[in-house]
Structure 1
Amino acid sequence: MADTAVDQLTEDQARAEFSRLTAELARHDALYHGQDAPEISDADYDALKRRALDIESRFPELTLADSPSQVVGAAVSAQFAPVRHGVPMLSLDNAFDAGEVADFEARIRRFLKLPADEPVAFVAEPKIDGLSASLRYEDGLLVRGATRGDGRTGEDVTANLRTLGDVPERLTGSGWPSVIEVRGEVYAPNDAFDAFNAAAEAAGTRTYANPRNFAAGSLRQKDATVTAQRPLRFFAYAWGEASAPFAETQWEALQALRSWGFPVNDRSRRVEDASGLTALYDGLQVDRAGLGYDIDGVVYKVDRLDWQHRLGFVARTPRWAIAHKFPAQQAQTVLEGIDIQVGRTGSHTPVARLHPVTVGGVVVRNATLHNADEIERLDVRIGDTVTLQRAGDVIPQILGVVDADRTGRGPPYEFPHNCVCPLKTALVKETNASGVESVVRRCTGELACPFQRIEHLKHFCSRRAFDIEGLGEKQLIAFHERGWISEPADIFRLARDPEKLDALRAEDGYGETSVRNLVAGIDARRTIGLDRFIYGLGVRDIGEQTSIVLARAFETWTAFEAACMAAADGIPGEDWVRLNEAHAVSPRVVAMLAEASPPADDPWPEASLDQKIALAFPGLAAPARRGLATLADDWGGLVRLADVARTEGPSEGLGQIAGVAGVGPVAARALALFFRETHNRAMVDALVAELDRIEDAEKPKSDTAVAGKTVVFTGALERFTRDEAKARAESLGAKVSGSVSKKTDYLVAGPGAGSKLAEAQKHGVAVLTEDEWLALIGG
């Protein structure tokens, strides 16, 4: 299915593929941003995300809170104090060729309704491959420095950033606002990085895979004196919160930053239209190797700041900026073996073991092969020479086999049929309710499988979950092998077990101080936020963003637990799931079926199946009728579908979770299945018993007139484009819907409003003109 073009995917195939991609991208985000330890190349990651976004664009109903379009960065480490960004630090969409750059410009013109002869000016800047940072100045003095973190909250690394010579302690020049957050990239020059690695290797200390990892690891040191010894630099290129405007264009802003004492990249240029952007891109690509620092593309930003404001954001990315990525670098080496890694949910992932090779200045030894289907597609065999591709990270993508027709090749690789754990449990390829088979092979042993158990524990202790200081992967594995830790509650029991702690004190590498710090790290997590607790449970299909949404929706652990238990008692039947996954069968269609009472005997024996559906269920559109026809061969099948819609649906408890905006039926069903299992309930109860408190979730802010309100726009809007209206409403905390219901709060109607206006009047929804809407939101 991964080879099937997105426009050829059925809805069922898209749902399965999108779920796999979302989980895989979340894992790689955690490795890259949270642990500075990526497993795949930038190009490989970009390809995964690009496919996910294409699927999401074609099937927008799949979008959830933790979908790739909604996620930025990674969670904040507990070793640094959290810093809430005054203005979120968002990621950028990517372009990979000149055609996509032209599309970017065309989208801007359409959104702003610009005439064809009006030029659009951009600022183009080299995309530095480093670590984003934000510097807050008050009255010209540096008061705080932070990493990007998850885009909303970063890590306080003020002391570390003060050690960089490029970061001014006091702003120079004039014209700076009393409060200004200056943003830019911390990076390591290539020659300084190479010298550091050479000295570290000679001394037998840690070396780094590439300058980006080096910069990230150096900036996130607990001891700022360590950072001070590292050759780090800084380029300023943006700003966040500002108490007053200080420029009218992006270009003017860069000049202002330079005048205040910040380094601004000399290769930044102001150009016009897509042709100017691609010309600058081509020049930077030629000069890339001689810059002295790593870049992986060029960032394009609309120059006029008033246009940036109008363009706004879509999901978690600005409409007014895009990153044009460079193509990947390649090399060849020998595949020496294929190892299998077992994931938290039992997935068996093949990893290529390679003869070490240098690609773009980085030594590469491993590459993911994704799954058995990918191995078969590439026909890679042990002993083959393979072509690799990378674009800035450690682990590349395998593109194919060199000289696949040579004589003497080894036999085709046979993927294991049983788990590689001692239990040798059979592997299965799961299918969804529509019979679409997953490409992933999983061990069915769940927590009985030692590999899955240890992966669950790693997830529980990860930075986005409980983030227990001093309990890393090495310690977890050691304690698990001793039989000390087999479930999360055991971690907290260990901190109160004198016998085990005494045994640790007697071992090399521990001692009194280490044990005391370990106990303190564990005890510090006996109080945990509800969202981290939910994520730490490791429920399949429940990512970090979905955990945040659930926590805010239910607010307390008591309410969330009660909802999950109610959901566990009301899991819908497989036929109901199959019905809801059929093409064009929406919840409204299912509701129509449930309300219908077709007779057992066919009243229209001479009619075609499509005619029978139209007569039995008046009002169904042709796509929905075709979707039902794929599930029912005759009249009896239609009667059965109506019965399924009426009697086999989810309980009210499951519907309550699925109805939370940003959660949906897949995540709700995963929670219900998790809490239905007795051993999972016992695990959760034991964990809760060891904690002091699960903190209630922070309630969403409601400081605008339309926060939390549902708004629908209709008609030919004259004061703004539809996209601009939607973007502004969402930025103020409103929910924008495409249809009117009794839950709609406002309908904003322009000239030519039709059926939606009638629907709003039917439900008593407040109808506003464009001017009334602008007055409500403050212009």
Structure 2
Amino acid sequence: MPDQSERAAELRGLLNRAAHAYYVLDQPILEDPVYDRLYQELVQLESAEPRLRSSDSPTQRVGGAPAEGFTSVDHRIGLLSLDNAFTRGDLLAWHERLLKVLDRPGDTQLPLVGELKIDGNALALSYRNGVLERAATRGDGTRGEEITANVRTISSIPLRLQIDNPPEWVEVRGEAFIPDATFAVINAEREQRGEALFANPRNACAGTLRQLDPKVVAARRLDFFAYTLHLPVDAQPPSQWAALEWLNTAGFRVNPNRELCADLAAIQSFCDHWEQGRHDLPYATDGVVVKLNDLLLQDEAGFTQKAPRWAIALKYPAEEAPTRLLRVGAQVGRTGAVTPVAEFEAVALAGTSVSRATLHNADRIAELDLHLGDTIVVRKAGEIIPEVVRVLPELRPSDATPVQLPQHCPECGSSLVREGDEAATRCVNSSCPAILRGGLRHWVSKGALDVDGLGSKLIEQLVDRGLVGSLADLYRLDAALLASLDRMGDKSATNLVEALEASKKQPWHRQLYGLGIRHIGEVIAKALAAEFFSIDSLAAAALEAPEQIAELHGIGPEISASLGQWLHNPANNQLLQDLRGVGLSLEASAAEQEAASQAGANANGMLQGKTLVLTGTLPNLSRSDAKALIEAAGGKVIGSVSKKTDYLVAGEAAGSKLTKAESLGVTVLSEVDLTAMLEP
């Protein structure tokens, strides 16, 4: 008779195989009562002796207290976006570019894999010695949020790979989603409880993955399809098709509606079939992903700065529907731009009910020849953003009146202005409540001062009650006043005051970006902050020598003029004084100045003009940190190895890039080599 340790191991193995058979293969091997009894036996064993509990136990799919928050983590291997194709012509053009990159004749037939593009949320799964070690969201492709506890609740994701002798590490990419039938049940349950309904399965899935309580995630019954595999170089399959088969064997659910196609014509037939067939699927899909099958050829094709050259997403044509225009409203943004918004009879598009769409500007209204009461055709651009495509004039009522943009601001009543060749019509009243609300939302956003706890609803209260009339007024709020507002308790109020105080220490470039000056986004703000260490030095250049700013790389005269115009405004100069009065520095710290100066000194240093590739896991540097070091020293980081690569920086589990670099004679650096090279 086995001892308790052996019995627990036997139960784990059997229950994991049963879960795989039920959730992935749809071929149950245990009846529910049998599974439940064996599961309870394992629970009792682990409760009696906690040492028997392991991370791959089915009892660990849901458990533990809710998390306090999520931690950002670096992806071992990045999750790049895909370029999009929208027509057969786009797909053909991609194929021609691919042949050119691979230096193949134009009539070469390349085997391609067609896979359905699941409309869900990308996940990065990391396995160590066959056991799920970490799960993370896609994030920006380089860093994501760790959500391992939540992902454990997804029954179609194996906690332990269903293969013998797994590699030391395995990286799997795939899509979490909520099936249509499950989504309908979830919304029905929410309606019974009087809760707001989810708009669509994709949004529900995204919100579920970021729940702090894994029990809530488990109740939503998410599913998962795996589609990308990364292994150590000596274990990597030769093709994408073989990689999908490996994933299937290892216990993952792989979408069965995939096809290995001999050439582009076969792929086009596959895409045509699923453009219609997708409507019969039990989950949402918004296109087909086409991938070069041969992984060595994938490596040869390489990447652009944002996407692989060897893959493309063919998006289905946006679904269109007719409806009747009821009215046209207007919204005022933080820069004063007035955006007309069409309001129409609700219509179902791409799984959601749509009743509003932006009309962009007065030119778009004129182009459409829009009249109130018109029958209009609307669609979701990219399956996300509603837009008005055209008008059906033959259905226009006889008494229909032309739509015109208002002459006065709908928020403050000021006369609206349209300058020169600008498409936008603007409110130029700096005291306009809409401009103030937009400016406040921008100031506290993540890219700017990153103030947690100050959302749109609270900002509306603060402005509407006259408690905040400028950015500086935020820092004059106290906890007692905040606690008196709707949906604000003492704890929330105290936390917000602390968050505002902490935001004063944000770097100078974030403060500059937060001011919301037209045309100055995050990248431009960083570039300006690296050259001008305070608002004073930047203002002096903008007002006295604007050409000095315009000549900076990536800036130009339009941005320089916008900056000068903003600084000429007396109200903005008063704002800068007020911000300093409440403790904002509006200048770079000594450490920031030193870092910027060092970066400038290194620009002509060891890596000036050099091209580098990063691969594997470095012992001390994250990929983003290594990239920042290289770029600060004048180097450029790209995604694939070629004859033009100067250096390959290789870490643990370097993979096929290391093999290719060695075959091409590219110099290979370790992390130690790189840091030594960059020492002054």
* 1:317 and 2:307 aligned: yes
Match of 2:543 in 1: 569
Note if contact 2:350-2:383 (Cα within 8 Å) is conserved in structure 1: no
CA distance in 1, matches of 2:635, 2:218: 45
How far does the alpha carbon of each residue in 1:196-235 deviate from its partner, in whole angstroms, 9 at most, with x for none? 1122122211211111111111112233322221121111
Q: CA deviation at 1:663?
A: 4.0
Q: Does 1:426 align with 2:419?
A: no
Mapped to 2, the partners of 1:211 and 1:84 lie a distance apart of: 27
Shift of 1:191: 0.9
Say if 2:601 is the partner of 1:709: no
CA contact (8 A) 2:375 2:395 kept: no
Q: Which residue of 1 aligns with 2:460?
A: 477
From the superposition, tell whether residues 355 and 684 of structure 1 become closer, same or farther in structure 2 (CA, over 3 Å).
Answer: same
- Mark the CA change 1:111 to 1:159 in structure 2 (over 3 Å): closer, same or farther: same
Distance in 1, matches of 2:522 and 2:351, equals 34
* Cα gap change, 1:708 to 1:260, in 2 (>3 Å): farther
Corresponding residue number in structure 2 for 1:640: none
Cα distance between partner residues in 2 of 1:240 and 1:258: 14
Q: 1:169 to 1:315 in 2, by over 3 A?
A: same
Given that 1:167 and 1:262 are in contact with CA atoms closer than 8 Å, whether structure 2 keeps it comes out as yes
Structure 1 residue 469: Cα displacement: 2.0
For residues 562 and 141 of structure 2, what CA distance do their matches in structure 1 show?
Answer: 27
Range 146-155 or range 317-326, more displaced: 146-155
Residue 346 of structure 1 corresponds to 336
TM-score (norm 2): 0.74
Q: CA separation of 1:449/1:504 partners in 2, compared to 1, >3 Å: closer, same or farther?
A: closer
Equivalent in the alignment of 1:396: 386
Q: Structure 1 residue 137: deviation in Å? A: 2.3
Q: Which structure 2 residues correspond to residues 268-287 of structure 1 after superposition, within 5 A?
A: 268-287=258-277
- For 2:663 and 2:243, the matched residues in 1 are separated by 32
The residue type equivalent to 2:398 in the other structure is G
**Aligned counterparts of 1:249 and 1:392: Cα–Cα separation in 2:** 30
Cα distance in structure 1, aligned partners of 2:167 and 2:569? 57
Q: Residues 374 and 559 (structure 1 numbering): CA distance in 2 closer, same or farther, change over 3 Å? A: same
String of CA shifts for 1:707-755, please: whole Å, max 9, x gaps.
44268xxxxxxxxxxxxxxxxx99x97459xxxxxxxxxx98xxxxxxx
CA distance in 1, matches of 2:102, 2:283: 36
Counterpart position of 1:659: 552
Q: Which residue of 2 aligns with 1:441?
A: 425
Mapping 1:58-457, distance limit 5 Å: 80-116=70-106, 118-174=108-164, 176-239=166-229, 246-390=236-380, 393=383, 395-404=385-394, 406-422=396-412, 424-431=413-420, 437-445=421-429, 447-457=430-440
- Take 2:166 and 2:471, find their aligned partners in 1: how far apart are those partners? 51
Q: Secondary structure at the match of 2:191?
A: helix
Structure 2 SS opposite 1:143: strand
Cα contact 2:288–2:314 (8 A) shared by 1 = yes
Q: Which digits, 9 at most, give the CA deviation of each residue in 1:399-451, with x for residues without a partner?
A: 222344645232111211222232x33322233xxxxx122111222x32221
2-side partners of 1:542 and 1:127: how far apart? 35
- Show the counterpart of 2:489: 511
Q: Which amino acid aligns with 1:539?
A: I
Deviates more, 1:531-540 or 1:269-278: 531-540
Q: Which residue of 1 aligns with 2:615?
A: none
Cα distance in 2, alignment partners of residues 261 and 540 from structure 1:
51
- Sort the Cα spacing of 1:260 and 1:776 in 2 relative to 1 into closer, same or farther, 3 A: closer
Conservation of the 8 A alpha-carbon contact between 1:528 and 1:694:
no
Residues 157, 126 of structure 1: CA spacing in aligned structure 2 closer, same or farther, 3 A cutoff? same
**8 Å Cα contact 1:124-1:300 kept in structure 2:** yes
Instruction: Provide TM-score, normalisation by structure 1.
Output: 0.65
What is the rounded CA distance, in whole Å, between the counterparts of 1:154 and 1:275 in structure 2?
Answer: 37
- In the alignment, what sits opposite 1:575? none
**1:150 Cα deviation (Å)?**
2.1
Q: Which residue of 1 aligns with 2:572?
A: 680
Query: What is the CA deviation profile of residues 43-84 of structure 1, one whole-angstrom value per residue up to 9, with x for unaligned ones?
Result: xxxxxxxxxxxxxxxxxxxxxxxxxxxxxxxxxxx9532222
The 3 A distance-change label for structure 1 pair 201 and 520 is: farther
Q: One-letter code of the match for 1:680? A: N
**Cα distance, 1:479–1:507 mapped onto 2, change above 3 Å:** closer
Asked if the contact 2:113/2:241 (under 8 Å) is kept, the reply is yes
Q: How far did 1:94 drift?
A: 1.1
How is 1:25-44 mapped onto 2 (pairs within 5 angstroms)?
A: none
Contact 1:193/1:231 (8 A) holds in 2: no
Residue identity matched to 1:528 = Q
Give the deviation of 1:514 after TM superposition. Answer: 2.8
SS at match of 2:115: strand
Q: Any idea what SS the aligned residue of 1:90 has?
A: coil
**Residues 174 and 260 of structure 1 are in contact (CA less than 8 Å); yes or no, is this contact kept in structure 2?**
no
User: Following TM superposition, by how much is the alpha carbon of 1:543 offset from its aligned partner in structure 2, in angstroms?
Assistant: 2.2
Specify whether residues 112 and 360 from structure 1 end up closer, same or farther in structure 2 by C-alpha distance, changes over 3 A only. closer
Q: Kindly state the Cα deviation for residue 508 of structure 1 after the two structures are TM-superposed.
A: 5.3
Q: Distance in 1 between matches of 2:379 and 2:407?
A: 30
Per the TM alignment, residue 289 of structure 1 is displaced from its structure 2 partner at its CA by 1.0
| Identity score, percent | 37
Contact 2:191 2:197 in 1 (8 A): yes
Say which structure, 1 or 2, has more relative contact order (CA 8 Å, 6+ apart). Answer: 1
How many angstroms apart in 2 are the aligned matches of 1:217 and 1:308? 34
Return the alpha-carbon distance in structure 2 between the equivalents of residues 110 and 119 of structure 1.
13
2:114 partner letter = A
- Length, aligned pairs only: 554
Unaligned stretches of 5+ in structure 1? 1-77, 432-436, 573-649, 712-728, 737-746, 749-770
Deviation, structure 1 residue 337: 0.9
Which of 514, 520, 528 is equivalent to 1:536? 514
What do residues 90-109 of structure 1 show as CA deviations (whole Å, max 9, x unaligned)?
A: 21111111122111111111
2:533/2:588 contact within 8 Å kept: no
More moved, 504-513 vs 330-339:
504-513
Q: How many angstroms does 1:281 deviate by? A: 0.5
Seen in structure 2, the aligned counterparts of structure 1 residues 327 and 507 have a Cα distance that, compared at 3 Å, is closer
CA distance in 2, matches of 1:774, 1:734: 20
